Structures are given as C-alpha cells and as structure tokens.
Structure 1
Amino acid sequence: MPDKIFLDQMSFYGYHGALPEERQLGQRFLVDLTLETELYAAGSTDDLSRTINYADVFKQVQAIVEGDPCKLIETLAERIATAVLHTFPLAEACRVKVIKPDPPIRGHYASVAVAIERRRVMAYLGLGSNIGARASFLKQALEQLDNVPGVRVIRCSSIYETAPYGPVEQNDFLNLAVQIETIMPPLALLDTVQQIEKAMLRKREIHWGPRTIDLDILLYDQTISHTERLALPHPEIARRAFVLKPMAELAPHLVLPGINRSMIELWQTLEEKEGVRLWKTSNGAGKYGLFEN
C-alpha cells in the first residue's frame, strides 16, 4: 500500500456554482486531499525537502478555491488535482473531494460532493508528417502537447523517414515516437491530440492519405482496452516498421501488453523492415534536442 499525505476538511469561501446567486453571494467549500507519495526517505532522514510540504499544498488549494469561479465543482476538483500534481513532482497520485456543505437545493442532506482521483501515467505517442515543412510540424505538435495542462513531454526518439503506408500515392513521412507523462484518462488524451491535429489543419478526407500531422496514442501505461473510439495498445504496433523502429529506440525493453514481448524483440523479429531510414538522430539535449542544429 502506498504512503499517503492527508489534508482533510480544508475550508474556504468561493464563488463557484451554476446558479447566479452562488456566483454573486458565494458560499463555503470544504476540500479533502490525499496525496500518494513515498515517505520512507523523509521519515528516515527527518528532511522536509524529501517530502511534500502540506502548508504549500494548502496555499495552492486555497488560491484555486478562492480564485476564478467555475460553474461545476467537478471543474474545481480537476483544477486542484492538475495544479497539485504539476507543482509537486513527488506526488504520484492525487485524490480530491470537493464538498458543498450548504448547496442551494431543497431537501434533507448532510452535504453534496464530488471526488476524483488522478495519477501520473506514462504513455507513448507516434507522430508523423508528410506535407510541407515536416520537421517543423513535428516540433510544433510536440510543443503544443507539452503546453497542455496535465501533459508533460519526457523524451523523443530520433526522426525516421518512412515510405507511406497504404495504397495512396504521396510523399514520404517523417516519424518519431514520444514518451509523455499525463494525468488525463485515455479518451481525454485522445480528444487532446485530435484538437492539436485540427489546430494544425489535419484533414481526414482520404484514409491513409497525406497529412500535416498525425498523432496516435500507441500505449497508455499497460492498459488493454477496445472501444469504438480508441483501442489500447494501438493494434498495429507490432506490424508497422515506422512505429516499431522509433519505439525500439525510445523504450527497447518496454513490453507490449497483450503480446508480452518487448519493443526491441518485436523489431528484431519483424519481417518487413524496408522503407524506414534514419533522418535525424536524437542528440539527447532535452525534449526537443533532435530539432536543434
């Protein structure tokens, strides 16, 4: 069982609510917060720098609850979880409960509340572009991804030039794989990458057609899930050289869930490796080092 830090029944006055009177008059809010973190180092050394300062957490929650209003306490809870996990890297997960002790509804009840849990998850995305300034599009997509609250780009593979997949006549692609840390659930992450594609004028008029940018969620932790919108892991990872080659470089020993074989093993045993050429080697100089001269 992971170690935890609890901040319970923090009390603030804010102006959140769907009704006009809630946003004009305000009301009291209670917040319970639970952080998962490893506490052995702090406990064995008595060193404050090796734990999470709960006084700083309190101040951040206070600033959010007493700050800009929102209609839903669900939104308030998301703001708190996102901010706390962004600010305190020692926190692996955050559980937030926002309570309205006196909501403006008729009936007998003690309170109304919402509770959410968000945790850091490693995910891997595949990026590709074969229109115009291909490398520039890749970099722009990475920067937009890194600016999304709840997402952090960790590192990228080298860039590979690859022959187009499928029957459509088109230019060669530049492809890479990227490791990210996120607190977003899978479908929320899918919405985010599709919004980035749309902002970068990605068109979906031709299946397997040319595109300014393509962002695919390859893996989300070790999740195995198949829905109408999203299959995890991506069902084509083990068959596509332009995905396997950058993944084998980025995370060679990462095991593909469901198949239970590592990326490097899948690459080494792939029969069709043709059409994937190293275009630019990652120099390891930070998240975007491969784009520097």
Structure 2
Amino acid sequence: MDPHLLRTFVAVAECGSFSAAADRLGYTQSAVSQHIAALEHDLGTTLLRRRPVAPTPPGERLLDHAGAILLRLDAARADVHRAIGEPPGTLTIAASPLAAGGGRLAEALTAVRRNSPGTAVSLTVDGREAVTHGVAAGEFQLGLIDGVAAPTDPLRLSDLGSLRTTAVAHEDLVVALSTNHPLARRRRVDLHDLVDARWIDAPDTAAALPDLRAATETDGIRAAFNYAGTDLRALLALIAAGHGLAVLPASAATSVSGIAVVPLGAPRLVHRTELLHGHLDGSRAAELVTALTAPANRRTD
C-alpha cells in the first residue's frame, strides 16, 4: 500500500471533498482522483462514496488503521534524521499547557542557553496528543507532556515507536470548583464522591475524564460542559462562573479569585510531567533533560 495514496485518502475523508483535499495537499483535483482510484484498485474495493464524499464501510476500516500507519512512517523518518544529528544551534520543543507552566521549563531553557550560547529555541504549546504526535513525526525534538497517574506509574501514552519518556516531576491533585459549590469547604474529597458531579471536559488543560473514569472504574464521570482550548485562565474562569469542576495540579489553581481548591483523596493519583524524546544524541536536548530533572526543578510529594 503506497503511503502517498493513503495520505490522500485520509485527506479526502477528513475534508469530505476532493477539491478541498487537493488544496490541503497541494495537488490538482485530478491527481487526487487518480490517487484514490489507484488505492481502490490496489485494495480491490470502493473506499469512498462520491456524492456526497464519505467513506464506505471498507473505507471506515482503512481509516481506523491509517492514522497509526502514517504516524509510524513519519516516526521512522524522524528517527533516521535523529541519527544524522540535530540541526546546529537549534532546539525545538512542544509542551502541553500545564507542562509548560509553573516556571520549570523556563528555568531549564535558561540553563540550556547559558551552557550553549546562541541556541535558537522554538517553543510550541499545544494539546497533549498534538505534542506526542509532533515529536513522533519529527516536528519537534522534544515534548513535555502531563497527565494523571498512580504515584508509581508512568503516563499512559499511545504507541510511541522508538520514542522514550523521562519523568520530570509530579505533584498533588486538587478538585477546582466555584467558591459557591456545596463541596467548596470540604477538607478533602474522594473522586468516587464526584461521579455524578457537573464536570468540565477540558482534555488539554485538566485531568482527562477517561483517566478519571478508569481510576474510579466507573463510567459515571461525564461532561456537562466541553472546553477544547489550551488556555488555563479560560478554564479557571469557567470553573469560577459555576459551569463545572475539574481536577488540576495543586499549583495550577492556587490564589485564583472565585476558585476553591479541595485536595483529592482516594484513589491516590498525582499530576505527572514527562519529557518525550528520542535517543538524546543531541547535546542541547540532553542538556534540557538534565536541567528539567535536576533536583531543584523537581516537585515531589
């Protein structure tokens, strides 16, 4: 199966249009049509209905595999490039919003630039999945990601190929809710007590609800409000206004007007930050790992 044809198929399926896919990929519409026809001929079945443009049942099956296939191909290319060596004088990093905050990353970058004067640093803040995929595909040399886990467990991540993770820090979790919430004056609250609460689903700026459901072994934790952004201040404003609650690292919700923070009790979970990387052959990448994992930069319980 030609990966170029597979990329075209994914673009058409996502765009719902041959012409829109051609614009995205920089091809002519005729070339896109030829790619789809060639892929359908290779697999011996129709993958896309034409009017309206939508995947057929076999096309849906192929889509289930396509993302992982293309990511692994990109990851293989990126790993080869890592073996060649990092671009001189550059360091490209992506970080999820909570992993980028708190000053830890800024201090570590200061150490890197002090040890390697003239280093050009590029920092992108994006959602956790985008960071993970970006590092795997070679768009970034390093990624800093966060999430919730049991104290001795690593973060649960998708297939990373040759990528590795290094633990950076962990800290206690709190439930952030409006000061008017009935539980705002509690000294501690267990997650099981919040199964039927009004939750804000903010997958990139708070504990992901699927992780909380897994921790409670229940499907009762459901979103009443969805926030798809990466701005922590916007999430805190929603919580303060009473739209729902969220689980956050303790440092993210302190001293915010209208927000009450209640320590999270059982089950025992922590907010964990990890660095996502390749083989760390590059000097600046290795320097950043050292700076991030230095004792002065680690928060422990």
TM-score class normalised by the smaller sequence: under 0.3
Question: TM-score by structure 1 length?
Answer: 0.25
Which has the larger share of strand?
1
Question: Which protein, 1 or 2, shows the higher relative CO under an 8 Å CA cutoff with sep ≥ 6?
Answer: 2
Which has the larger share of helix?
2
